[in-house]
C-alpha cells in the first residue's frame, strides 16, 4: 500500500513538473498600454530579454567610401545589381556582405577564382537577394520605415538565416486508418505548442488569403470565408506573430474590440503591410529560386525556403531593436533610375496598399 502511495505521489509530482515546465517562471514585468482593468498590458520576461539583447546588436558600420571615380560595372565584369556604386563603395559593400552572411567561409562562399563566374548557386541567389533587399528598402517602407533592412537583418552571420520555413509535410493517413488530423493537433512550436493548424504560413504568407476570425452573418455570404477553420488558422498566425516579435496580443490589438481598427495600435497597420510584404517576397523572389538551389537546400516537399516574421525579427519587436543599418549602405537601394522605374511599375499596388487598411467587423485580425 505504501509503495502504491509513493508511486502515485511521484507520478503526480512528475506530471506537475512537466506541466509547469511549459509556463514562464515568475517574476515577469507588465507594462500598461491602456486603461486600467482593460487587460491592455505588455508582458516582458527580464530573463528572456537579458538573453536576447546580445543577439540583437547591429555590427558597427565602416565609413562610407568615396563615391567619385568609375562605377563598379565599368571596372569589374558581370556586376548586375551594384554596378552603380563607385569601385571603393562596391568593395566596401562586398566586404560587409561577407561579414554579414559568410564570415567563416569568406568570399569563396559565393565566388570562384574568377569573380565574374556565376557557376556557384550561392552567387546567383545572393544577387537576387540584393534585389529583394533593394525592393524592401524602397517599396515596402510602410513596414520597414526608415530603418530598412540589410543582409544582416536576416542572416546574422549565418549563410542560411536561422528562421525560415518550408511547406509542412502532408499527413500520412495510412489508408485513413488513423484518422485525419486536418493539418493540426500536433502541438507545433511555430504556433506556440498549441493544437492550432501548424502551417499558417502557406495560407497567409504565400497564398493571398484574408486573415479572418468571424463573420457578420449567420450564413456565409459572398466570397469572404470566415468559418471556424479560418479562425483557427488565423490564431495560428497570431501565435507566430507573438513569438516572432516577443509580444502579446495587445501590441497590435485593443481589448475593447480585437477586430476594430478604430482603437488599434499603429503597430497593427505596420503588421498588415508586413503580411503583404512577406507574400510579395516569397512569391516573387524566393519561389523563383527553387530550381537554383540544390536538392539538399530544399524542404521535405521540394519547396524553397521562405520568410516569415521570425526571419527578420528573431524574437524582438523590431529587428536589431530598430538599428538603422541600411542608411550606411547606399548599395542596398537601387540606382536612382531603376528606383524611379520600379516605383512607376508598382504604382497600382502601392496606391492600394498606401491607403489605411479598411476593416469591418469581419476583419477580426490583421
Q: Is 40 within any annotated ligand binding site? A: no
* Backbone angle region of 106, left / alpha / beta, with phi > 0 → left and psi within -120 to 50 → alpha: left
Residue 306 is given by DSSP the state B
Q: Is 23 within any annotated ligand binding site? A: no
Q: What are phi and psi of 93, to 5 degrees?
A: -65, -40
Closest by CA to 366, choosing from 254, 240, 234, 243, is: 234
**Cα angle 270, 274, 278; round to 5:** 175
Q: Is 154 within any annotated ligand binding site? A: yes
Q: Is 151 within any annotated ligand binding site? A: yes
Residue 221 is given by DSSP the state -
Helix ranges (H only) for 29-179 are 46-52, 72-75, 87-101, 121-139, 141-144, 151-155
Q: What are phi and psi of 256, to 5 degrees?
A: -65, -25
Query: Is residue 194 helix, strand or coil?
Result: strand
Q: Is 84 within any annotated ligand binding site? A: no
Cβ atoms within 10 Å of 341's Cβ, excluding its own: 12
Q: What are phi and psi of 361, to 5 degrees?
A: -60, -30
Query: How far from each other are the two terminal CA atoms of the chain, in whole angstroms?
Result: 58
204-235 burial, b for 16+ CB within 10 Å, e for fewer? bbbeebebbbbbeeeeeeeeeebeeebbbbbb
CA distances from 156 to 38, 151, 311 (A): 38, 8, 10
Q: Is 296 within any annotated ligand binding site? A: no
C-alpha span between 5 and 15 (Å, rounded): 15
DSSP 20-46: HHTSPPSP-EEEE-SSTTTT-EEEE-H
- Cβ partners under 8 Å of residue 114, min gap 6: none
Residue 171 is given by DSSP the state P
CB of 241 within 8 A of CB of 190?
Answer: no
Which residues define the annotated binding site for heme? 94, 107, 110-111, 129, 143, 151, 154-155, 238, 249, 252-253, 309, 312-313
Q: Residues forming the annotated binding site?
A: 94, 107, 110-111, 129, 143, 151, 154-155, 238, 249, 252-253, 309, 312-313
Amino acid at each position: 500500500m505504501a509503495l502504491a502511495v509513493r508511486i502515485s505521489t511521484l507520478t503526480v509530482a512528475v506530471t506537475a513538473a512537466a506541466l509547469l515546465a511549459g509556463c514562464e517562471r515568475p517574476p515577469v514585468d507588465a507594462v500598461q498600454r491602456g486603461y486600467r482593468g482593460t487587460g491592455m498590458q505588455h508582458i516582458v520576461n527580464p530573463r528572456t530579454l537579458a538573453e536576447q539583447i546580445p543577439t540583437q546588436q547591429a555590427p558597427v558600420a565602416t565609413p562610407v567610401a568615396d563615391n567619385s571615380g568609375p562605377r563598379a560595372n565599368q571596372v569589374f565584369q558581370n556586376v548586375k545589381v551594384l554596378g552603380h556604386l563607385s569601385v571603393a563603395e562596391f568593395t566596401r559593400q562586398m566586404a560587409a556582405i561577407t561579414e554579414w552572411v559568410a564570415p567563416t567561409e569568406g568570399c569563396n562562399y559565393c565566388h570562384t577564382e574568377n569573380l565574374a563566374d556565376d557557376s556557384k548557386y550561392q552567387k546567383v541567389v545572393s544577387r537576387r537577394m540584393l534585389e529583394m533587399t533593394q525592393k524592401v528598402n524602397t517599396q515596402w517602407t510602410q513596414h520597414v520605415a526608415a530603418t530598412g533592412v540589410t543582409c544582416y537583418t536576416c542572416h546574422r552571420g549565418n549563410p542560411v538565416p536561422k528562421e525560415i520555413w518550408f511547406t509542412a509535410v502532408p499527413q500520412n493517413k495510412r489508408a485513413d486508418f488513423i484518422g485525419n488530423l486536418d493539418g493540426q493537433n500536433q502541438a507545433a512550436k511555430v504556433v506556440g505548442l498549441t493544437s492550432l493548424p501548424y502551417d499558417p504560413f502557406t495560407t497567409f504568407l504565400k497564398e493571398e488569403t484574408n486573415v479572418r476570425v468571424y463573420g457578420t452573418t449567420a450564413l456565409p455570404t459572398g466570397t469572404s470565408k470566415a468559418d471556424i477553420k479560418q479562425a483557427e488558422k488565423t490564431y495560428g498566425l497570431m501565435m507566430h506573430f507573438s513569438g516572432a516579435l516577443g509580444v502579446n496580443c495587445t501590441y497590435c490589438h485593443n481589448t475593447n474590440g480585437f477586430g476594430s481598427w478604430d482603437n488599434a495600435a499603429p503597430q497593427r497597420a505596420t503588421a498588415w503591410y508586413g503580411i503583404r510584404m512577406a507574400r510579395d517576397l516569397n512569391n516573387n523572389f524566393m519561389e523563383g529560386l527553387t530550381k537554383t538551389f540544390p536538392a539538399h537546400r530544399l524542404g521535405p516537399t521540394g519547396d524553397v525556403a521562405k520568410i516569415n516574421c521570425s526571419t527578420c525579427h528573431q524574437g524582438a519587436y523590431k529587428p536589431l531593436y530598430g538599428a538603422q543599418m541600411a542608411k550606411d549602405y547606399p548599395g542596398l537601394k537601387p540606382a536612382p533610375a531603376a528606383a524611379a522605374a520600379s516605383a512607376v511599375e508598382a504604382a497600382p499596388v502601392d496606391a492600394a496598399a498606401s491607403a489605411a487598411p479598411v476593416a469591418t467587423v469581419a476583419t477580426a485580425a490583421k
